[in-house]
Structure 1
């Protein structure tokens, strides 16, 4: 098979490949969709491959790739409605009843999740990795969607990637004064939306909390599950517009319309800079099939937010590289 990136059978130009993960993270922050980010990075690589012979090294290869990626993202965002989370659409929580499932929106209306392994560096300075994690949290990604695309690019390049103003001006073919003005406006908008990026590391107690979350969910012990939540915990379930606004309502939902989740299995992962669980619901005849990705916000020893991205024929798990099914567990052999 010949690579579209190099024309060399079975190979991808390593000069381009080594930047793929960070470019995916940048495009995800710009677009609010891991699916669109993958497409944008692929387009960036194709454009770079086509122009690589003409690249004269007047800037670093990394800067040149970011220029291409920014233009690809700006093209994608042209005329597009912003993506959102259910809580962005309504200031009032919904009732935990089946009728609340009536309102849905298409996949492109919602901020989508991304696994940490797709966009975050594997190593490097711990402080920089902490900044990277906070910059993919769902609240921050949703807040970014309120910014005009060029302001979004300026803020990400300056505040997340730590580029100098003159470097951003060169990339966007504008002036330093224009970059500084756009950055000031973008910061003011985010401050008004609560799009903070304060580090929230998980401690030993938090890790124990996650083990109890998994245990309570798989046993479907809803009393134990609700005890892990803040009283005013929230849960969203895109593609549904509904969201729940208390631990009590979440418990009521799980014992009512959500009771089909009984018997599920969970796989631990990390998404959007947070702990996450891939949920597989039981399948008739045995085994478990993809249902939803739970992204958890932990605060003060309890769970504050649960965003459950449902895989309702969207191919979410497949696109995230999660297992397509969980087969029945093999009983342990008798000694």
Structure 2
């Protein structure tokens, strides 16, 4: 056994890969919390089996092999995350029913700092952000587990076919075949475009400033002018989703009227602009957490308003205040 196995150096050596492994596991599992658990499980398994690690591959490759097995075990249990648009037909304000589904149903948001690499390469940064967008993540959920691993390793992380084959203990031909099938499935999902949040260009900054101003003023007429004609509003854990500026406006003025007087705190999630939304407290003093809003933006308009309502989970994860005075 190497001296590394009996000293803090092994912890430090593994820790340098935590962020990229968390990003890999998040893409595999669709859950920020499951991803962090998977990475921790990976480190525990690595510790326990380090005496069998003979340095035939790099520590990074070995950790990815363990992480892949951890994720495959979870996915073989049948876990598949989804968005409301994957589960139900389009709803309408006039007939809307708020049907809640369990937490394990939903594709979860993730803070950029937990999964995106620290790199000065703009192309690498853009690819990383693209690969954690909600729409891309939802499409990944349609892939069988091993195809998902192949696509992520080959096209997101830029591993070579022979490296993936060694990791999955299969042939290069099998890897190439799985990649071809995965590409076909992803293409069939017709993933909508969305622009990343960082760095924001002038048009994006202006759009988000106008959105924040309109939402906090609860000027719904102004807010709807910022929406794309087929913009979608969803609100996990409810499986309802509605589409189009008129329907979204009606929702905010009817069932969503409790959002009037809200305040927004900017953040980012999944490489996209986001806000912590705080509604006026029932006590009349201050504002309390209501939703993590993750916005999808394309060509100067908002195409998606994703309101994740389980604030007890999301606000601590994103470092958002417990309440606003």
Q: Which category of TM-score, normalised to the shorter sequence, fits these structures?
A: over 0.9
What's 2:135 paired with? 139
What's 1:302 paired with? 301
Q: 1:198 to 1:311 in 2, by over 3 A?
A: closer
Distance 2:280 2:192 in 1: 38
Task: Give the TM-score normalised by structure 2.
Answer: 0.92
SS at match of 1:306: strand
What's 2:263 paired with? 265
Distance 1:217 1:96 in 2: 19
What's 1:85 paired with? 83
Distance 1:193 1:141 in 2: 11
Q: 1:21 to 1:210 in 2, by over 3 A?
A: same
What's 1:47 paired with? 45
What's 1:290 paired with? 289
Distance 2:151 2:184 in 1: 11
RMSD: 2.2
Q: Which runs of 4+ in 1 moved over 4 A?
A: 6-9, 196-202
Q: 1:307 to 1:7 in 2, by over 3 A?
A: farther
Distance 1:57 1:196 in 2: 43
SS at match of 2:96: helix
What's 2:91 paired with? 94
Q: CA deviation at 1:278?
A: 1.2
What's 2:318 paired with? 321
Distance 2:215 2:170 in 1: 52
Q: CA deviation at 1:53?
A: 4.1
Task: Give the TM-score normalised by structure 1.
Answer: 0.89
Instruction: Indicate which of 124, 129, 139 corresponds to 2:120.
Output: 124
Give runs of aligned pairs for residues 1-335 of structure 1, distance below 5 A: 13-90=11-88, 92-97=89-94, 100-195=96-191, 202-283=200-281, 284-311=283-310, 315-318=313-316, 320-328=317-325
Distance 2:324 2:53 in 1: 50
Q: CA deviation at 1:124?
A: 3.0
Q: CA deviation at 1:287?
A: 2.4
Instruction: Tell whether the 8 Å contact from 2:273 to 2:295 is kept in structure 1 after alignment.
Output: yes
Q: CA deviation at 1:198?
A: 8.0
Instruction: Tell whether the 8 Å contact from 2:278 to 2:291 is kept in structure 1 after alignment.
Output: yes
Q: CA deviation at 1:244?
A: 1.0
Q: CA deviation at 1:296?
A: 1.0
Q: CA deviation at 1:200?
A: 5.7
SS at match of 1:232: strand
Q: CA deviation at 1:46?
A: 1.0
Q: CA deviation at 1:199?
A: 6.5
Q: CA deviation at 1:321?
A: 3.4
Q: After superposition, what is the alpha-carbon deviation per residue over 1:126-178, rounded to whole angstroms, capped at 9, x for unaligned?
A: 10110000000011111111111000000100010010000000000000011
SS at match of 1:252: helix
Instruction: Tell whether the 8 Å contact from 1:140 to 1:197 is kept in structure 2 after alignment.
Output: no
Q: CA deviation at 1:315?
A: 2.1
Aligned length: 319
Q: 1:56 to 1:8 in 2, by over 3 A?
A: closer
Distance 1:199 1:249 in 2: 24
Instruction: Tell whether the 8 Å contact from 2:207 to 2:300 is kept in structure 1 after alignment.
Output: yes
Distance 1:250 1:198 in 2: 19
SS at match of 2:93: coil
Q: Which structure 1 segments of 5+ residues have no match?
A: 1-5, 329-335
Q: Which structure 2 segments of 5+ residues have no match?
A: none
